[in-house]
Structure 1
Amino acid sequence: MSPPETDIAVRLSGVHLQFGKTRLRFDCAIGKGQIVAITGASGSGKSTLLNVIAGFETPDAGKVEILGDDVGGRDPAERPVSVIFQEHNLFAHLDVATNIGLGIDPALKLGVKEKAKIASALLRVGLDGFGKRLPPTLSGGERQRVALARALVRRKPILLLDEPFAALDPGLRAGMANLLLDLHRQEGHTILIVTHHPDDVRLLADSVLFLDGGHTLLHEPTAQFLDHSDISAVARFLGR
């Protein structure tokens, strides 16, 4: 069942894109405040789905609505979304505080109030005192925490994460997942997270959007999704 209209954060209606010989088709409605895992086999369109919502890809047909507004034609910067990629997109020559400050003002016109926001975000992600460090001196998990802090200072209601833990070992993955849950409880973001890992689904997701062959095969509560043994593509994902 779809959430009531007033409770929908993101809706894709009849969205089509053509990539070579592959046609991707997306229809879904994401409830406000949910954490939704987007998963499926490689090439099923997971990252493309995030890129359509963020505005990095323009569909050939269909409508993308965010918080009730049609965002077709809006640039990524004009959409109420923050994106965290697997490679975290930090500038190696800028210190951590400056990288985070870009989330507040790309021109880096940062006053006392803005610098306080940066310090607060670093504290919240467990990196208090790291402001003057350069990204190459950080571990993979620390760099992802910086990317998360930058998303926090942007104060956007929709957070999109594309395989954010893929390069992390299991211990760091669990730590980042728990940090994301803590921040979600505080902020109430709507979060869409692309993942290949069933453990991420079990730990994080309220519901699962499962893509197969470039279209939405399932969108259902996590417990229901994890109970599937009757759909081969889902069973393969779950290791059955």
Structure 2
Amino acid sequence: MTGLRLDRLRVMRGEAALVDLDLTVAPGEVLSIMGPSGSGKSTALAAIIGTLDPVFRMGGRILLDGRDVTTLPTHARRIGLLMQEDVLFPHLSVGGNLGFALPPGLPRPERRARIDEALEQAGLGGSAARDPATLSGGQRARVALLRTLLAEPGALLLDEPFSSLDAELRAQIRQFVLDRARERGLPVVLVTHEPEDARAAGGPVVSPLGTRLAPWGLPR
């Protein structure tokens, strides 16, 4: 089985169910989870990546390409996460930030080649030595995505990563992120409160409790 399988994934707080998902996200597909603030969207991502607060109870299984990762620590799940904040390390250069995602034993010439290639593909060639503080918001978003992809995840979670960008830049970066994920055949779970994000993603849209939402029926 390929893709990301949420097998009767259920998250409870007390007697209330916040997440109830039973579905598979295929390679290259984007599942959008929509709902108001506090409805359980980010809780679903925390369950998938393994950072769920102990106040919650979780049932069901999470499988990635047929491998059960439910009880594995976050670093062993091979699931990447891109958040609203780009969380670039301020004490490292752009290249240093990207190198952080590469295997520690990789020879230095190969590390440099991978970093340079990634920057070229993102239209940021020659930026390896730059201070992240000198980058624009869109450039920082691209570097954050590159760092996530260089770690070679098997799936990608997007926790409202476009919400801090203005409308024009939002559309541009959203397309950049989705295109790169599809090129790599990654199953993607996008959490958003913006109908336009869900429409652009083009995949199924559900609430945290698994209710199917028709993207063409979402309010503009």
* Aligned twin of 2:176: 179
How far residue 12 of structure 1 moved from its aligned partner, in angstroms, is 3.5
What are the superposed Cα offsets for residues 133-179 of structure 1, whole Å, 9 maximum, x if unpaired? 11211111111111111112111120111111111001111111221
Size of the aligned set, in residue pairs, is: 216
Note the 1:2-151 alignment, pairs <5 A. Answer: 6-18=1-13, 22-29=16-23, 30-57=25-52, 59-105=57-103, 111-151=108-148
TM-score, normalisation: structure 1: 0.82
Distance across 1 between alignment mates of 2:153 and 2:187? 9
Deviates more, 1:23-32 or 1:107-116: 107-116
CA contact (8 A) 1:40 1:196 kept: yes
Give the Cα separation in 2 of the matches to 1:31 and 1:182.
15
Q: SS of the residue aligned with 1:117?
A: helix
Q: Which structure is richer in relative contact order (CA contacts within 8 A, separation 6 or more)?
A: 2
Structure 2 residue ranges without an equivalent (≥5)? none
Fraction of identical pairs, as percent: 34
Whichever residue aligns with residue 161 of structure 2, its letter is P
Aligned residues of 1:102 and 1:108 also touching (Cα < 8 A): no
2:105 and 2:141 mapped to 1: Cα distance? 21
Secondary structure at the aligned position of 2:124 is classed as: coil
1:60 is paired with a residue whose SS is strand
1:7 shift after superposition: 4.4
Partner SS, residue 216 of structure 1: coil
Letter in structure 2 aligned against 1:112: P
Question: Structure 1 residues 176-185 or 191-200, which shifts more?
Answer: 176-185
**Is 1:163 equivalent to 2:152 in the alignment?**
no
* CA distance in 2: counterparts of 1:160 and 1:14, whole angstroms: 16
Q: Which amino acid aligns with 1:168?
A: L
CA RMSD of aligned residues (A): 2.1
Give the direction of change, closer, same or farther, for the CA distance of 1:217–1:117 in structure 2 (3 Å limit): same
Cα shift readout 1:64-96 (whole Å, capped 9, x = no counterpart): 222222212211110121111111111111111
Aligned letter for 2:7?
A: L
SS at match of 2:211: strand
Calculate the TM-score normalised by the size of structure 2.
0.88
Match of 2:185 among 166, 188, 196: 188
Q: Distance in 1 between matches of 2:206 and 2:112?
A: 38
